[in-house]
A and B are shown apart, each in its own frame.
Chain A
């Protein structure tokens, strides 16, 4: 299995809602990532879990909260989002930590905040 899966594919939420995005990989990779991608822009790194250690992009607001229940799963909890948070959220994984290996991307969750 060489896939990274993400659910849901689309999500529409209000600014007071709480929702979660899910990401799963069964390639035995030890590093997993969350990216945010706005239209016509490159992906921006939000969080990295590498060997169960979390690294955070300090510009990411606290209304985004990652969780890594185990080495195959990565969740992104969303709370009190703003309309400007509407974007494509991409999950990725890599076998090698430390930036040497390629990252495998999931298809993304298209998030719309009303």
Chain B
């Protein structure tokens, strides 16, 4: 069975500071990993995905994530936070192989301090 843990339901950073959102996964097979962002009253938008190619994945809006198998982690980072980054962020895992289920973490609300 697959699962995702996001440490920190709320993260606050100053504008211009480093953003680090943590995600650890559990999967019985090599996983497919995703980060989604959700702005208020909107759907989810894909930031980036890991599908067993390069371990450092670059996404939209300056975000990137590194897949670390030894740590079962897929943390999301951005070097310099912008006010527009304030949103809810979800890490998700899929085992593929015909399993359609995308398992989401509980989410991290990112607040940017001016």
Contact = CB atoms under 8 A, between A and B. Distances in A.
Contacts of A107: 42-43
Contacts of A97: 98, 100
Interface residues of B, number: 25
B104 A108 contact: no
Contacts of B43: 4, 6, 90, 92, 105-108
B46 interface: yes
Given A42-B90, A50-B100, A90-B43, A102 B106 contact: no
A43 interface: yes
Nearest to B31: A99
Interface string A48-75: 1010000100000000000000000000
B18 interface: no
A99 B94 contact: yes
A76 to B, nearest CB: 15
A43 B105 CA distance: 9
Interface in A84-114: 88, 90, 92, 97-100, 102-108, 110
B8 interface: no
A40 B94 CA distance: 22
A90 B44 contact: yes
Q: Which of A42, A104, A110 has the most CB of B within 10 A?
A: A42
A110 to B, nearest CB: 7
Interface in B79-101: 90, 94-101
Contacts of A42: 90, 104-107
Interface of B: 32, 34, 36, 41-46, 49, 51, 90, 94-102, 104-107
Given A42-B104, A42-B105, A92-B43, 4 more contacts: A43-B44, A100-B51, A102-B34, A107-B43
28 contacts: A40-B107, A42-B90, A42-B104, A42-B105, A42-B106, A42-B107, A45-B101, A50-B100, A88-B41, A90-B43, A90-B44, A92-B43, A98-B98, A98-B99, A99-B94, A99-B101, A100-B32, A100-B96, A102-B34, A102-B46, A103-B44, A103-B46, A105-B43, A106-B43, A107-B42, A107-B43, A108-B41, A108-B43
